[in-house]
Structure 1
Amino acid sequence: MANINILLADDHDIVRDGIRMLLEDEVGFRIVSEAENGEEAIKACKEDDIDLVIMDISMPKMNGIEATEKIKESSPDIKVLALTMMDEDQHIRQMIEAGASGYILKSSDKVELVDAITTILDGKHYFSDDATQSVMMDLVKGTAKENNSTDPGNITDREKEVLELIVKQYTNQEIAEELYISTRTVDAHRRNLLQKTGAKNTAGLVTYAFRHNLVDIN
């Protein structure tokens, strides 16, 4: 496996040191840079060859939400894994909307951290079990923002099937095999979903699906 270059962005030295200790013996993972705030994280992504950012939400100067949005705008291939606390449900939602591929609690162990990283690098999303239920319920019950003006009725039954599999973290190839269609057709459905929902990326589609109760969260 090729080396995965990781940036640690957190304003607490002890958190960065802890993550570094957890990953230092993991084959293929390299901590190549660290940042104490969002501005430093953006700069590091421009100067270093970063594959994944482990991003704290609450940081000085620029928080993880703003930093994630700017990083994804300039370098969409860089994956972002949000570091969260249990009481940051609202901010977690904003991180996903900004382009983060998932979130993990700061109290998580090495097994979950490695699982989250490998899942995200595989092109899927990772949501920490301990925080998922409350966040997903917040998405369903929360007041709508820009996406609420979009009528879910415009989405076809086939697009809903594709959307449900996207939420379940299926890859395009897996969706194609599940629905007996080509990957090109899956791409077309994905583009249509982005256009109809107003979402910017896959994370936005997941958010839209839960807001409009288009998938079963049980």
Structure 2
Amino acid sequence: MAKTRELCKDIRDKIVDLHKAWMGYRTIGKQIGEKATTVGAIIRKLKKFKMTINLPRSGVQCKISPRGASMIMRKVRDQPRTTRQDLVNDLKRAGTTVSKKTISNTLRRHGLKSCSAHKVPLLKTAHVQACLKFATDHLEDPEEEWEKVMWSDETKIELFGLNSTRRVWRKKKDEYNPKNTIPTVKHGGGNFILWRCFSVKGTG
């Protein structure tokens, strides 16, 4: 059902004044350019509530309780790759039956959205520590030193098939949190390695 237009205060007050002057609904409607049913609704509201303004609407009640919302938020924070069906099943076991659409709406209200997980190199703890040490050791290096450095990297391009894509629930700022990424390794068949480099002189 389409949302009806709300009459302004001046028109509602005019309807009340004409009604007090013993005019009928149809006559009032013709005079102000509104339907007789609209005029009748205003008058009935006046008699019942002693006012003509629209009362606050309660809206649709959320099917997931605050406790249930906290439960699924905790599950998603710990396991971002949790699917909506997993959450539906968790709530069902807790005594609440909802749809996957309701799960999506609840997570979005808490600032989360479903995104494709970024693929990042699989790094061991030693690799992470080595990268951090390199960054801290060279933090104060002058710009001239970096002009002598050439950066390189490689990537694997699949010839057959596609790398799997997984979706995670996350906030925008958490896209590279390890829990929200898919580690990749450079091995396997049906692919080739592309190597590139760049420096202050350009690309290679």
What TM-score, normalized by structure 2, do the two folds share? 0.20
Q: Going by fraction, where is helix more abundant, 1 or 2?
A: 1
The structure number with the bigger radius of gyration is 2
